[in-house]
Amino acid sequence: MNERIKLLAEQAANGMLSYDAEGDWRLNGKEVAKFAELIVKECRVALTPMLRDMISRGQAYNLIKQHFGVK
């Protein structure tokens, strides 16, 4: 899993991220909402160059992927 996404999940869970038997992390309903909010905020950070430089949507897509380390 991408380390940045895991850090956001931990932040959403107030540092108390729980795991299931397979080692996958779990969030409750309130934590999922916070996690989604944090993802949106991170996308805003990733898109700052787009807003500043008026880049294309394709470049914006690539900025978000790069920000989260998605290949």
Number of domains in the chain: 1
What is the pLDDT averaged over residues 11-31? 88
Q: Which of 45, 49, 47, 57 is nearest to 4 (CA)?
A: 45
Contact criterion met (CB below 8 Å) for 8 and 1: no
pLDDT in tens, 33-67: 999 889 888 888 877 777 677 777 778 888 888 88
Residue 1 has pLDDT above 80, yes or no: no
pLDDT value for 12: 92
Domain hosting residue 59, numbered range: 3-68
Q: Which residue has better confidence, 1 or 37?
A: 37
pTM of structure: 0.67
